[in-house]
Amino acid sequence: MHNMKTLRKQMMTLLSDNEMSAREISAAVGIGEKEVYGHLSHIARSIKSQGKKLVIHPSECMGCGYVFEKRKRFTRPGRCPICKSEHIKHPFYRIQ
């Protein structure tokens, strides 16, 4: 069981230096990919007071190139609304 504060701090340090996908974050800090999303939304809220923000490099459809720019959720979309392809690139996150 990880200490939450330490874990989030570790994620914040990583994301300040690199643009990473949830999968990369999960591998780097040793938690499940699904858990990463919960921590990301917590981090997004807590860094606001420091004048920083969590920037999402949006998911992109590999079928037609559609970019999910307006998506607010951190998870990868399941399907493209345009061409219905399920081959969607994972979003990347970074702290700026």
Positions that interact with Zn ion (CB under 5 A): 61, 63-64, 66, 80, 82-83, 85
Burial classification of residue 74, based on how many CB atoms lie within 10 Å of its CB (0-12 exposed, 13-18 middle, 19 or more buried): middle
Q: Which is nearer to Zn ion, 66 or 92 (CB)?
A: 66
Minimal CA–CA distance to 59: which of 93, 91, 20, 21? 91
Q: How far is the CB of 60 from Zn ion (least distance, A)?
A: 9
Other C-beta atoms closer than 10 Å to the C-beta of 25 total 23
Shortest distance in whole angstroms from residue 53 CB to Zn ion: 28
- Residue closer to Zn ion by CB (options 44, 58) is 58
Q: Which is nearer to Zn ion, 56 or 61 (CB)?
A: 61
| Residue 61 beta carbon to Zn ion: minimum distance, rounded to whole angstroms | 3
Give the type of residue at 17. D
